[in-house]
Structure 1
Amino acid sequence: RLSLEEVKRVKRHPVSVLLHNVRSLYNVGSIFRTCDAALCRELILCGFTPHPPRKEIEKTALGAVETVPWRYFPRTNEAIQVLRSEGNKIFALEITDRKRNYTTIEKDDFPLVVVLGNELTGIDQDILNLCDDAIEIPMFGVKHSLNVAVASGIVLFESIRIYRKLFLGEI
């Protein structure tokens, strides 16, 4: 377990999460906590996604607001433009006609930003059009969606597993 000082100095995984118009403060807090556990590079909050300081975020983040680097952009398209200029690939986590499984991330896809959308409406088409690709988690039941915080954890940890295998030789 890293101390607060160590976590500020450690090299983070080259995977970030961008939240586009996520409405639930509790989901945002939960995603902060997952980003901390995964040692992701940063969390980018956009549009009407709530951002710190908010007690509801802190309630589920359990201190992760202090350990996860984060930025807020009022406009998601501007965030994507900045992130792309920093050398990131931008992947939407959304069911689209592209049908790329989230387990197929490759070496050239890093550093990676995973975009997650609103709990009810997903990612707006204009934002999807700005993404380099779209990935999805296969659904097998009646419901064809997961809670945004759950989905972020699945994709974040799988992306990091792939990164560590490809770049660090871990199995």
Structure 2
Amino acid sequence: MRKLSMDELNRKSVDEFKQSDKLSIIAVLENIRSAYNIGSVFRTADAFLLEAIYITGYSAIPPHKEIKKTALGAEETVSWKHFENAGSAITELREQGYKVYAVEQVQDSISLEKFASNSTDKIAVIFGNEVSGVEQTTIAECDGCIEIPQLGMKHSLNIATAAGVVLWELVRARILNN
């Protein structure tokens, strides 16, 4: 085995990325304290061709040096929008026909491996604050909650890690269903 060169990776240019068909998945970031985490989600959204990122509350927005450091330019390719609060983002998502799910540990949550959706479903997933998670008022507005199965003691993942796990699983299901 040998590592592939940058040329062999067939990376899209910024224009090619912007013109590419995106998956109807939007990541919503609610009150994320760390701009590094936000940048990581931008990079993940770029990797998986997500429709957009909606940033809510006091979360940092581009241009921000810490977002830029971890996004590695994805903040320039991925569409994003800022909302004063998650409720405003949810209202817009519903108007656009999205089903909205919080990624949170709640009563009657759907375990990630059991979450089913059509490849044509428009889905938004909300990731919450590093300490307090998704706000209860936000959860009340969602169509449901997705929970990442965890087997250890902590039952807590960094938001960037959680986003990578959930978003890949949603993308993987769409790739397999096409």
TM-score range, shorter chain: over 0.9
Deviations 1:120-168 (A, max 9, x none): 00011110000001000011000011000000000001101112222x1
Q: Which has the larger radius of gyration?
A: 2
Indicate the residue corresponding to 2:135 in structure 1.
Answer: 124
Indicate the residue corresponding to 1:81 in structure 2.
Answer: 91
CA contact (8 A) 1:119 1:148 kept: yes
TM-score normalised to structure 2 length: 0.91
* Pair 1:107-2:99 in alignment: no
The structure 2 residue matched to 1:20, chosen from 27, 30, 47, is 30
Deviations 1:56-112 (A, max 9, x none): 110111000111010000121011001111000001000000131112222188210
| CA distance in 1: counterparts of 2:117 and 2:83, whole angstroms | 28
CA contact (8 A) 1:89 1:109 kept: no
The structure 2 residue matched to 1:10, chosen from 8, 20, 33, is 20
| CA distance in 2: counterparts of 1:46 and 1:102, whole angstroms | 24
CA contact (8 A) 1:29 1:58 kept: yes
RMSD (Å), alpha carbons: 1.2
* Pair 1:32-2:55 in alignment: no
Give the superposition deviation at 1:6. Answer: 0.5
Judged with a 3 Å threshold, the aligned counterparts in structure 2 of structure 1 residues 4 and 109 are, in CA distance, closer, same or farther, namely closer
Secondary structure of 1:91's counterpart equals strand
Structure 1 unaligned residues grouped into runs of 5+: none
Residue 122 of structure 1 aligns with an amino acid whose one-letter code is: G
TM-score normalised to structure 1 length: 0.94
Aligned length: 167
Give the superposition deviation at 1:54. Answer: 0.7
Indicate the residue corresponding to 1:136 in structure 2.
Answer: 147
Structure 2 unaligned residues grouped into runs of 5+: 1-10
Give the superposition deviation at 1:16. Answer: 1.1
The alignment-based identity, stated in percent, is 41
Give the superposition deviation at 1:14. Answer: 1.1
Give every structure 1 segment of 4 or more consecutive aligned residues whose post-TM-superposition deviation is greater than 4 Å.
Answer: none
Secondary structure of 2:50's counterpart equals coil
